[in-house]
């Protein structure tokens, strides 16, 4: 049994739950292969997210007269730099932390008395 890890003084009305063991599933014979597949999908999400944001930005910039050269030569402030690094780390975490997962249950593993 598990409990929400959210730290808050506010009421959440969340109850205990039985955690799934999906993190342990091995479909591809070797957990590393499984993890790489997950990473690949996550990477796709990040790449597409940026491309879609860029579409919004470019559309707005074009309306406001901001040129491509102005974008190329922009110098971030130290504050921006720090903030962007933080976001880069979140990106890396989402994309590559699945590589660290240690799955060990074959796909055909039935529910056991403990997890049902």
Partner 1 sequence: MLDRRTLFGTVAAVSSLLGAALTGRKAEAKTDIATKNLSPTGDINKRGSTGRFERIPDLDLENRYDFFTGFRNFQHRFNAPAKLRVEKILESKGLDPKAKLTMQEAMELIDDDLLVQASGRTWVSNQQLTWKTLSDYFHHHADEYLAEMEAADNDGPGTLELNPDLNIPKYIQHEIHAMPGGYVGNPFGGHVYHLGQNSFYASISRLGDNEQDQIQTRTVDRLPLPQDKNVRRILDMGCGFGRLTTALKERFPEAEVWGIDVGGPLIRYGHMRARDLGIDVNFAQRSAEETKFEDGYFDIVTSVILNHEMPTEANKAVIKEAHRLVRPGGYYYPIDFKTSGTQDHAYNQYRRWYDHRWNCEPWTPEFVAFDFEGEIEKAGFNINRETRAALPGFGARHAIKKA
Give the residue among 28, 19, 20, 18 at the shortest CA–CA distance from 107.
Answer: 28
Binding mask 29-68 for partner 1 (x = CB under 8 A): x----x--xx--xx-xxx-xxx-xx--x------------
Alpha-carbon distance of 32 to 26, in angstroms, equals 9
Q: Which helix (H) or strand (E) holds 26?
A: strand 25-26
Residue 33 C-beta: closest distance to partner 1, Å: 8
Residue 102 C-beta: closest distance to partner 1, Å: 15
Alpha-carbon distance of 54 to 87, in angstroms, equals 16
Report residue 26 as tokens: 């091995």
Site for partner 1, rule CB under 8 A: 1-4, 6, 8, 10-20, 22, 25, 27-29, 34, 37-38, 41-42, 44-46, 48-50, 52-53, 56, 94, 98, 106-111, 116
């Amino acid at each position: 049994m598990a409990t929400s890890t959210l730290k808050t003084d506010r009421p959440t009305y969340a109850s205990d739950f039985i955690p799934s063991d999906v993190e342990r599933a091995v479909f591809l014979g070797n957990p590393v292969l499984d993890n790489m597949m997950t990473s690949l999908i996550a990477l796709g999400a990040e790449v597409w997210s940026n491309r879609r944001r860029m579409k919004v930005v470019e559309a707005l910039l074009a309306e406001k007269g901001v040129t491509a050269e102005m974008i190329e030569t922009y110098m971030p402030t130290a504050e921006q730099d720090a903030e962007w690094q933080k976001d880069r780390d979140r990106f890396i975490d989402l994309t590559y932390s699945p590589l660290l997962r240690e799955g060990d249950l074959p796909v055909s593993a039935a529910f056991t008395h403990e997890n049902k």
